[in-house]
A = this chain, B = another copy of it.
Amino acid sequence: MTAQPTPDGRRPANRGPRAAAGNREALVAAAREIFAAHGLDAPLSAIARRAGVGQGVLYRHFPDRDAVAAAVLEENVREVEQAAAARGATPDGVLGVLTWHLAQSAAFIGLLHADGASGRFAAHAYARELSERVERALRGCLPDGHRLADPDDLMLAVAMVSGAVTGPTREGREHRALAAWRLIGVTVGPVRPFGG
């Protein structure tokens, strides 16, 4: 409780404040992988370990699990927005980017589904905000009279496609995502990350 003498006298290098930015990025990347692989309940310690940092660093950057998840989601959403804002953006193309992210990670799916029912996510409000950003990004691209012109329908469609995205392999998830869009009657462009 009181003193914490250095265990054996050795202490792994303190890489200094310079490492902060890099650490944050590494944590988000690690979180994306760990969440994708083991679900949103994966131990935070696993994320810290994968990122190659101490647990304290994770807690310095993110106060809780929600914040970690939100950071991952934020990145995904930002890519969709960028795809939508890019010159020459087409509905098909943006949906392709979105679909790539949907197929990419379980975390993305789980967070869009975050419904508070599990009592786990207080980040509900944030998830909603992100949903709206996705919706806005897409809306700007859709031609008038598009099947999903109604914003509610658009987000519902995204949720539905998310629901369809299951299975252990990337390819399988991608295939199911495309089949889902087809069932809704929506055409999707090439499935790939923005700039990928």
Contacts and interface: CB of A to CB of B under 8 A. Distances in A.
Interface of A: 1-3, 36-43, 64-65, 106, 113-120, 152-153, 156-157, 159-168, 176, 179-180, 183-185
A78 B116 CA distance: 28
A183 B168 contact: no
Number of copies of this chain that the complex holds: 4
Given A39-B119, A153-B179, 19 more contacts: A36-B117, A37-B117, A38-B118, A38-B119, A39-B120, A40-B118, A41-B41, A106-B118, A115-B166, A115-B167, A116-B167, A117-B167, A152-B179, A160-B163, A160-B180, A160-B184, A162-B163, A163-B163, A183-B184
B183 A118 contact: no
A7 to B, nearest CB: 17
Nearest to A17: B11
A43 B2 CA distance: 10
A152 B160 CA distance: 16
Contacts of A36: 117
A170 to B, nearest CB: 10
Nearest to A124: B168
Contacts of A153: 179, 183
Contact of A117 (B65, B168, B184, B185): B168
A120 to B, nearest CB: 6
Contacts of A180: 156, 159-160
18 contacts: A1-B41, A1-B43, A2-B65, A2-B120, A37-B119, A39-B117, A39-B118, A41-B120, A117-B166, A117-B167, A117-B168, A152-B179, A156-B183, A160-B163, A160-B164, A160-B180, A163-B163, A185-B185
A102 to B, nearest CB: 10
A6 B26 CA distance: 27
